[in-house]
């Protein structure tokens, strides 16, 4: 009875806007009262977001290379530098993907890749310049902290210099990928040759000091303990106190298929919703939490909007990383908007800074997506030859490296 009371007191404290201690966060994460966690997380979300809308964005995940010098046991996407299956996307294909994104009402690409052993910083600067020359209004949400850290090693340049030069070349914002669990014990157990906790955080700290913004992520449900999940949240909260530069947090469950950790039992919906709710309660200095529907499907992704999330994440036009691990959810813009509407909110398209698009632009994107789906439907019913087949890569796939 005493424990139950304490649990309720912790929830009341968070709902009132008081900061939770790591011990209190852990108590909540150990709780099985999912309904109580959800109610409290939802109360916090509604306090922070009293507006009558919930948001989403439209972008495309562009993986410029799958060649990687690191070895992550949970990753089914990468290929070793000697692999015949390694690729580097050529510029024409890259630009075509961007144009398709803009044609569907998107405003940014999420551009990430493996840790390529040879490319110097100049290669990435040229990549950014080529894109910005052709698509000046596009936001390049690119290069996760492990990649940035890797660039400093390959080019033998200080972190600040690397970030300053990438920013000058057109880098818009940093995705929060490669965080997994920000505890070195966990990172050492599941990755080799990849940035460790302090340096992952330092990339963000320096980027924020340059006026840049980034997102933060957590991939959980593998070898970490519940206490280590809280330690992860605590490290993020500390950096956010220092810089205020994180725009959002997104967590998702590890997808084991086709990875070296395939025998790990997958974390389910209960675990996902519980962790998402606790993240909302713990990260009192984060304005936005994104739902991750890729790993749990649309319905749990929708429910996450009642368990601490205020944003449906991205309608992604392409995703490769999570898809390689066997998770592929097809979802249309109408389905994302419908999931928001069903909960009594108005769906609104936003940019990376959570600024809303005006209604005319939003309507235009909806119509563009309708037309594209019409084409895809027609293509699926057409004989499998000729132009119709080229539409297949445009099937909407939601990926969870959305951060
Ligand atoms: S998760 Fe990233 S760093 Fe790790 S192996 Fe895959 S591509 Fe490389």
Report the relative pairing of strands 53-63 and 346-349 from DSSP bridges: parallel
Of residues 36, 8, 118, the one with CA closest to residue 306: 36
* Residue 177 CB less than 6 A away from ligand 1: no
**The pLDDT value given to residue 384:** 54
Contact between 384 and 278 under an 8 Å Cβ cutoff? The reply is no
| Closest ligand 1 atom, residue 75 Cα | 6
Q: Is the pLDDT score of 91 beyond 50?
A: yes
Cα–Cα distance, 399 to 144 (Å, whole number):
15
Q: How far is CA 401 from CA 69, 110, 292, 362, in A?
A: 19, 8, 10, 24
pLDDT over 70 percentage in the chain: 89
pLDDT digits (tens, 9 = 90+) for 288-303: 999 998 888 899 999 9
Nearest residue by C-alpha to atom 7 in ligand 1? 114
Rg (CA), the chain: 21
> For residues 140 and 95, is the Cβ–Cβ distance under 8 A?
no
Q: What is the pTM of this model?
A: 0.92
How far, CA to CA in Å, does 193 sit from each of 82, 153, 182? 16, 11, 15
Q: How far is the CA of 325 from the centre of ligand 1 (A)?
A: 12
Position in ligand 1 atom list of the atom nearest CA 66: 7
Position 387 pLDDT exceeds 80: no
Q: Residue 195: its pLDDT value, please? A: 97
- Give whole-number Cα distances, 84 to 66, 80, 90, 118, in Å: 11, 9, 17, 16
Note the pLDDT tens digit of each residue in 317-326: 765 555 555 5
pLDDT at 120: 97
pLDDT above 80 (res 332) = yes
What's the confidence (pLDDT) of residue 386?
44
Q: What confidence tens digit (pLDDT) does each residue in 193-228 have?
A: 999 999 999 999 999 999 999 999 999 999 999 999
Say if ligand 1 is within 6 A of residue 187 CB. Answer: no
Q: Where are the domains of the chain?
A: 52-398
CA 89 to centroid of ligand 1, rounded, Å: 17
Which residue from 221, 194, 191 is spatially nearest to 73, judged by alpha carbons? 191
Distance from residue 232's CA to the centre of ligand 1 (Å): 19
* Cβ-contact 290, 55 below 8 angstroms: no
| Ligand 1 pocket residue status of 115, Cβ below 6 Å | yes
Residue of the CA atom closest to atom 1 of ligand 1: 75
pLDDT at 394 over 50: no
Q: Pick the atom of ligand 1 nearest to 191's CA.
A: 4
Using the atom order of ligand 1, give the atom closest to the CA of residue 144. Answer: 2
Per-position DSSP letters for 190-203, written without gaps between them: HEESS--HHHHHHH
Query: 196 C-alpha vs ligand 1 centroid, how far in Å?
Result: 13
* Concatenated DSSP letters of 68-111: -S-EETT-SS-B-TT-TT--B--HHHHHHHHHHHHHTT--EEEE
Report the nearest-CA residue for atom 2 of ligand 1: 114
At residue 315, the pLDDT reads 83
pLDDT-wise least confident of 172-176, 180-184, 188-192, 257-261: 257-261
pLDDT of 115-161, one tens digit each?
Answer: 999 999 999 999 999 999 999 999 999 999 999 999 999 999 999 99
The per-residue pLDDT for range 37-88, each reduced to its tens digit, is 999 999 999 999 999 999 999 999 999 999 999 999 999 899 999 999 999 9
Cα–Cα distance for residue pair 120/111, rounded to 1 Å: 17
Q: Whose CA is nearest to atom 4 of ligand 1?
A: 72
pLDDT score of 267 more than 80:
yes
How far, in whole angstroms, is CA 107 from its chain's centroid?
A: 16
Please give the class, per CATH, of domain 52-398.
alpha beta
Which of 67, 78, 258, 319 has the most ligand 1 atoms within 8 A of CB, as the residue to mutate? 78
Cα 215 off chain centre by: 7
Tokens 């499998």, located at residue? 384
Across residues 164-172, what is the average pLDDT?
98
Q: Is 70 in the pocket of ligand 1 (CB under 6 A)?
A: yes
């Amino acid at each position: 009875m005493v424990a139950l009371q304490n649990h309720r007191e912790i929830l009341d404290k968070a709902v009132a806007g008081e900061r939770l201690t790591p011990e209190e966060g852990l108590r909540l994460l150990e709780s099985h009262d999912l309904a109580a966690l959800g109610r409290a997380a939802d109360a916090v979300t509604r306090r922070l977001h009293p507006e009558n809308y919930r948001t989403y964005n439209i972008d495309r995940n562009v993986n410029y290379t799958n060649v990687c010098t690191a070895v992550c046991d949970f990753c089914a996407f990468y290929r070793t530098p000697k692999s015949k299956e390694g690729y580097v996307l050529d510029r024409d294909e890259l630009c075509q993907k961007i144009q398709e994104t803009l044609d569907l009402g998107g405003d940014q690409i999420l551009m990430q890749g493996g840790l390529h052993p040879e490319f110097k910083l100049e290669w990435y600067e040229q990549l950014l310049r080529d894109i910005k020359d052709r698509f000046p209004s596009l936001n390049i949400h690119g290069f996760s902290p492990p990649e940035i850290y890797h660039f400093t090693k390959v080019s033998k340049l200080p972190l600040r210099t690397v970030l300053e030069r990438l920013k000058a070349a057109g880098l818009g914002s940093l995705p929060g990928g490669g965080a997994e669990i920000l505890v070195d014990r966990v990172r050492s157990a599941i990755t080799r040759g990849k940035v460790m906790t302090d340096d992952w955080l330092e990339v963000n700290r320096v980027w924020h000091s340059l006026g840049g913004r980034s997102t933060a992520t957590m991939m959980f449900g593998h070898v970490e303990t519940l206490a280590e999940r809280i330690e992860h949240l605590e490290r993020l909260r500390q950096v956010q106190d220092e810089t205020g530069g994180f725009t959002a947090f997104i967590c998702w469950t590890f997808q084991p298929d086709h990875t070296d950790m395939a025998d790990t039992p997958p974390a389910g919906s209960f675990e996902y919703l519980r962790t998402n709710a606790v993240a909302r309660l713990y990260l009192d200095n984060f304005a936005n939490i994104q739902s991750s529907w890729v790993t749990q499907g649309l319905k749990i992704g929708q429910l996450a909007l009642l368990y601490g999330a205020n944003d449906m994440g991205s309608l992604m036009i392409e995703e490769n990383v999570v898809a390689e691990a066997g998770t592929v959810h097809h979802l249309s813009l109408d389905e994302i908007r419908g999931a928001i509407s069903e909960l009594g909110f108005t769906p609104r398209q936003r940019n990376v800074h959570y600024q809303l698009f005006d209604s005319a632009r939003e309507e235009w994107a909806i119509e563009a997506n309708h037309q594209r789906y019409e084409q895809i439907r027609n293509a699926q019913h057409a004989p499998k030859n000729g132009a119709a087949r080229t539409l297949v890569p445009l099937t909407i796939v939601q990926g969870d490296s959305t951060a």
